[in-house]
Amino acid sequence: MLENQTLAPSDGYVTADGRQIGGVMMDLRNITLRFGGVEAIKDISFDIREGEIRAIIGPNGAGKSSMLNVISGFYVPQEGEVWFNGAKRPPTKPYQVARQGIARTFQNIALFEGMSVLDNVMTGRLRQMSSGLFSQALWWGKAQTEEVENRAAVERIIDFLEIQSIRKTPVGRLPYGLKKRVELARALAAEPHLLLLDEPMAGMNVEEKEDMSRFILDVNDEFGTTIALIEHDMGVVMDLSDRVVVMDYGRKIGDGTPEEVRNNEAVIDAYLGVSHD
Amino acid sequence: MTSAQDASQGVSIPHLLARNAAQFGDRPAYREKEFGIWQSWTWSQTASEIEALALGLLSLGVAPGDHVAIIGRNRPALYWSMVAVQCIGAVPVPLYQDAVVEEMTYVLEHCGARFVIAGDQEQVDKVLEVKGATTVIEHIVYFDKRGLRKYDHTAMTSLSDVQAQGRDASDEMVKTMQSRRDGLGADDTCVMLYTSGTTGKPKGVVLSNRNVIETAQNSSNFDTLGPGEEVLAYLPMAWVGDFIFSIGQAYWTGFCVNCPESAATMQSDLREIGPTYFFAPPAIFESHLTQVMIRMEDASRFKRGMFHMFMDHARRVGPAILDGASVGLWDRLKYALGNVMVYGPLKNTLGMSRIRVGYTAGEAIGPELFDFYRSLGINLKQLYGQTEATVFITQQPDGQVRSDTVGVPSPGVEIKIAESGEVYYRSPGTFQSYFKNPESTASTKDAEGWVATGDAGFIEEATGHLRIIDRIKDVARMSDGSMFAPKYVENKLKFYPNVLEAVVFGAGRDRCCAFINIDLTAVGNWAERNNIAYSSYQELSQHPQVLEMIEGHVNAVNASVAQDEMLSGCQIHRFLVLHKELDADDGELTRTKKVRRAVIAEKFNDLIEALYSDAPEVTTETEVTYEDGRKGTIRATLSIRDGNVSPKLEAVA
Tens of pLDDT, residue by residue over B132-173, are 777 789 999 999 998 888 889 999 999 999 999 999 999 999
pLDDT tens track for B16-53: 999 999 999 999 999 999 998 999 999 999 999 999 99
- Check if the beta carbon of residue B82 is closer than 8 Å to that of residue B30: no
| Radius of gyration (C-alpha) of chain A in whole angstroms | 19
Taking the CA of residue A155 and the nearest CA in chain B, the distance in Å comes to 5
Task: Give the confidence band of B7 by pLDDT, cuts at 50, 70, 90.
Answer: very low
Are residue B385 and residue B411 in the same domain, yes or no?
yes
Q: Determine the distance from the C-alpha atom of residue B252 to the mean position of all C-alpha atoms in its chain, rounded to a whole number.
A: 22
- Flag whether the pTM goes above 0.90: no
Residue-averaged pLDDT of chain A: 87
Q: Give the pLDDT of residue B295.
A: 85
Residue A55, domain extent = 1-101+194-277
Distance CA B263, CA B277 (A): 19
- pLDDT for residue A78 is more than 70: yes
- pLDDT for residue A106 is more than 80: yes
Are residue A88 and residue A198 in the same domain, yes or no?
yes
- pLDDT for residue B1 is more than 50: no
- pLDDT for residue B198 is more than 90: no
- Which one, of B157, B160, B4, lies nearest residue B75 by Cα? B160
- Which one, of B213, B212, B211, B247, lies nearest residue B231 by Cα? B247
| Cα–Cα separations (whole angstroms), residue B577 to A123, B550, B610, B615, B633 | 48, 8, 13, 15, 18
Task: Give the confidence band of A241 by pLDDT, cuts at 50, 70, 90.
Answer: very high
Distance CA A141, CA A119 (A): 21
Residue, of B362 and B426, whose pLDDT is higher? B426
Q: Give the pLDDT of residue B74.
A: 95
- pLDDT for residue B481 is more than 50: yes
Contact A164 B149 (CB under 8 A): no
DSSP characters over B485-513? -HHHHHHHHHTSTTEEEEEEE-TTSSSEE
- Range from A97-106, A264-273, B86-95, B368-377 carrying the lowest mean pLDDT: A264-273
Q: Give the pLDDT of residue B2.
A: 39
Burial class of B459 by CB neighbour count within 10 A (0 to 12, 13 to 18, 19+) = middle
Contact A159 B264 (CB under 8 A): no
Which parts of B301-401 are beta strand (E)? 357-360, 380-386, 391-395
Task: Give the confidence band of A6 by pLDDT, cuts at 50, 70, 90.
Answer: low
Q: How far apart are the first and last CA of chain A?
A: 23
Amino acid at B96: Y
Taking the CA of residue A79 and the nearest CA in chain B, the distance in Å comes to 42
Task: Please give the backbone phi and psi of residue B186, each rounded to the nearest 5 degrees, phi first.
Answer: -65, -25
Domain membership flag for residue B244: no
Put simply, whether A162 touches B (Cβ < 8 Å) is: yes
Q: Which residue of A has its CA nearest to B265?
A: A165
Put simply, whether B630 touches A (Cβ < 8 Å) is: no
Instruction: Say which residues have a Cβ less than 8 Å from residue B556's Cβ, sequence separation at least 6.
Output: none
Distance CA B15, CA B47 (A): 11
Q: What is the mean pLDDT of residues A57-81?
A: 90
Distance CA B13, CA A237 (A): 52
What share of chain B has pLDDT > 90, as a percent? Answer: 61
Contact B149 A222 (CB under 8 A): yes
Residue-averaged pLDDT of chain B: 89
- pLDDT for residue A2 is more than 50: no
Distance CA B407, CA B383 (A): 7
Q: Give the pLDDT of residue A1.
A: 37
Contact B37 A155 (CB under 8 A): yes
Helices and strands (H and E) in chain B: how many: 23, 28
Q: Give the pLDDT of residue B492.
A: 86
- Count of CB atoms within 10 A of residue A208's CB? 17
Are residue A74 and residue A155 in the same domain, yes or no?
no
Are residue A138 and residue A275 in the same domain, yes or no?
no
Judging contacts by C-beta atoms under 8 Å, the chain B residues touching residue A218 are 146-147
Put simply, whether A175 touches B (Cβ < 8 Å) is: no
Domain membership flag for residue A109: no
SS3 content of chain A, % helix, strand, coil (to 5): 40, 25, 35
Q: What is the mean pLDDT of residues A113-140?
A: 84
Are residue A49 and residue A71 in the same domain, yes or no?
yes
pLDDT tens track for B234-287: 999 999 999 999 999 999 999 999 999 998 899 889 999 999 999 998 888 888
Domain membership flag for residue B242: no
Q: Give the pLDDT of residue B199.
A: 61
Q: Give the pLDDT of residue A233.
A: 80
- Check if the beta carbon of residue B535 is closer than 8 Å to that of residue B477: no
Q: How far apart are the first and last CA of chain B?
A: 63
Burial class of B160 by CB neighbour count within 10 A (0 to 12, 13 to 18, 19+) = middle
Domain membership flag for residue B361: yes
Give the torsion sign (CA, B159, B162, B166, B167). Answer: positive
Are residue B58 and residue B149 in the same domain, yes or no?
yes
Judging contacts by C-beta atoms under 8 Å, the chain B residues touching residue A185 are none
DSSP characters over B257-324? EEE-SSGGGHHHHHHHH--SEEE--HHHHHHHHHHHHHHHHHS-HHHHHHHHHHHHHHHHHHHHHHTT
- Which one, of B594, B617, B450, lies nearest residue B547 by Cα? B617
- pLDDT for residue A37 is more than 90: no
Site from A164, A173, A217 to mutate, B interface, most B CB atoms within 10 angstroms? A164
Domain membership flag for residue A108: no
Are residue B383 and residue B515 in the same domain, yes or no?
no
Of B33, B34, B628, the CB nearest to A210: B628
Domain membership flag for residue A265: yes
Distance CA B391, CA A202 (A): 49
Q: Which residue of B has its CA nearest to A218?
A: B147
Are residue B435 and residue B517 in the same domain, yes or no?
no
Put simply, whether B8 touches A (Cβ < 8 Å) is: no
Contact A165 B268 (CB under 8 A): yes
Task: Give the confidence band of A237 by pLDDT, cuts at 50, 70, 90.
Answer: confident
Distance CA A81, CA A257 (A): 24
Contact B37 A210 (CB under 8 A): no
Put simply, whether A18 touches B (Cβ < 8 Å) is: yes
- pLDDT for residue B3 is more than 50: no
Q: Give the pLDDT of residue B652.
A: 43
pLDDT tens track for B109-130: 999 999 999 999 999 999 999 8
> Which among A5-19, B126-140, B540-554 has the top mean pLDDT?
B540-554
Distance CA A23, CA B440 (A): 65
Put simply, whether B530 touches A (Cβ < 8 Å) is: no
Are residue A32 and residue A81 in the same domain, yes or no?
yes
Domain membership flag for residue A111: no
Put simply, whether A210 touches B (Cβ < 8 Å) is: yes
Put simply, whether B262 touches A (Cβ < 8 Å) is: yes
Judging contacts by C-beta atoms under 8 Å, the chain B residues touching residue A178 are none
Judging contacts by C-beta atoms under 8 Å, the chain B residues touching residue A151 are 36
Contact B35 A155 (CB under 8 A): yes
Helices and strands (H and E) in chain A: how many: 10, 12
Are residue A210 and residue A143 in the same domain, yes or no?
no
- Which one, of B253, B428, B287, B283, lies nearest residue B356 by Cα? B253
- pLDDT for residue A277 is more than 60: no
Residue B631, domain extent = 476-642
Is the ipTM here above 0.90? Answer: no
Of A160, A165, A168, the CB nearest to B262: A165
What is chain A's length? Answer: 277
Opening angle at CA A25, ends A238 and A110, nearest 5: 65
Are residue A62 and residue A34 in the same domain, yes or no?
yes
Q: What is the mean pLDDT of residues B566-574?
A: 86
Are residue A227 and residue A273 in the same domain, yes or no?
yes
- Check if the beta carbon of residue A45 is closer than 8 Å to that of residue A30: yes
Find the helix or strand (DSSP H, E) in which B345 lies: helix B344-350
- pLDDT for residue A18 is more than 60: yes
Distance CA B44, CA B607 (A): 59
Distance CA A78, CA A12 (A): 31
Contact B36 A167 (CB under 8 A): yes
- Range from A66-70, B147-151, B555-559 carrying the lowest mean pLDDT: B147-151
Q: Give the pLDDT of residue B46.
A: 97
Put simply, whether B628 touches A (Cβ < 8 Å) is: yes
Q: Give the pLDDT of residue B649.
A: 55
Put simply, whether B261 touches A (Cβ < 8 Å) is: yes
The last residue of a domain, from among A157, A174, A191: A191
Of A152, A162, A210, the CB nearest to B35: A152
The last residue of a domain, from among A171, A191, A211: A191
Site from B34, B35, B125 to mutate, A interface, most A CB atoms within 10 angstroms? B35
Q: Give the pLDDT of residue B607.
A: 92
Domain membership flag for residue A19: yes
> Helices (DSSP H) in chain A: which residue ranges?
64-71, 94-99, 117-123, 133-138, 142-160, 176-189, 206-223, 234-240, 258-262, 265-267
Contact A18 B150 (CB under 8 A): yes
Site from A165, A222, A223 to mutate, B interface, most B CB atoms within 10 angstroms? A165
Q: Which residue of B has its CA nearest to A160?
A: B146
- pLDDT for residue B213 is more than 90: yes
Contact A218 B268 (CB under 8 A): no
- pLDDT for residue B627 is more than 80: no
Distance CA B83, CA B69 (A): 13
What are the beta bridge partners of residue B383?
B395
Are residue A88 and residue A8 in the same domain, yes or no?
yes
pLDDT tens track for B437-475: 999 899 999 989 999 998 988 898 888 999 888 888 888
Domain membership flag for residue A198: yes
Domain membership flag for residue A141: yes
Put simply, whether A29 touches B (Cβ < 8 Å) is: no
Of B33, B262, B628, the CB nearest to A162: B262
Put simply, whether B621 touches A (Cβ < 8 Å) is: no
Count of CB pairs separated by less than 8 Å, A with B? 36
| Beta strands A226-230; B466-471: pairing state | unpaired
Task: Give the confidence band of A274 by pLDDT, cuts at 50, 70, 90.
Answer: low
Judging contacts by C-beta atoms under 8 Å, the chain A residues touching residue B536 are none
- pLDDT for residue B77 is more than 60: yes
Distance CA B307, CA B532 (A): 27
Distance CA B226, CA B250 (A): 9
Query: Looking at residue B643, what DSSP letter applies?
Result: P
Distance CA B221, CA B219 (A): 5
Task: Give the confidence band of B68 by pLDDT, cuts at 50, 70, 90.
Answer: very high
Judging contacts by C-beta atoms under 8 Å, the chain A residues touching residue B535 are none
- Which one, of B193, B323, B288, lies nearest residue B521 by Cα? B288
Task: Give the confidence band of B90 by pLDDT, cuts at 50, 70, 90.
Answer: very high
Put simply, whether B37 touches A (Cβ < 8 Å) is: yes
Judging contacts by C-beta atoms under 8 Å, the chain B residues touching residue A222 are 146-147, 149
Q: Which residue of A has its CA nearest to B34?
A: A159
Give the torsion sign (CA, A108, A110, A115, A120). Answer: negative
Of B35, B36, B147, the CB nearest to A221: B147
The last residue of a domain, from among A154, A174, A191: A191
Q: Which residue of B has its CA nearest to A164?
A: B265
The last residue of a domain, from among B114, B145, B178: B178
Distance CA B86, CA B319 (A): 43
221-250 in A: which are within 8 Å (CB) of B? Answer: 221-222
pLDDT tens track for B271-328: 999 999 999 988 888 888 888 888 888 889 999 999 999 999 998 898 888 888 888 8
Q: Give the pLDDT of residue B4.
A: 43
Are residue A2 and residue A96 in the same domain, yes or no?
yes
| Cα–Cα separations (whole angstroms), residue B205 to B116, B195, B503 | 19, 7, 28
Q: How many domains does chain A have?
A: 2
Are residue B466 and residue B513 in the same domain, yes or no?
no
Domain membership flag for residue A219: yes
Q: Give the pLDDT of residue A273.
A: 63
Distance CA A227, CA A49 (A): 9
Q: Give the pLDDT of residue B197.
A: 66
Are residue B343 and residue B488 in the same domain, yes or no?
no
Q: What is the mean pLDDT of residues A104-113?
A: 88
pLDDT tens track for A160-176: 999 999 999 999 999 88
Task: Give the confidence band of A271 by pLDDT, cuts at 50, 70, 90.
Answer: low
Distance CA B101, CA A99 (A): 46
Domain membership flag for residue B407: yes
Q: How many domains does chain B have?
A: 3
- pLDDT for residue A272 is more than 80: no
What are the beta bridge partners of residue B484?
B476
Contact A207 B146 (CB under 8 A): no
Q: Which residue of B has its CA nearest to A166?
A: B265
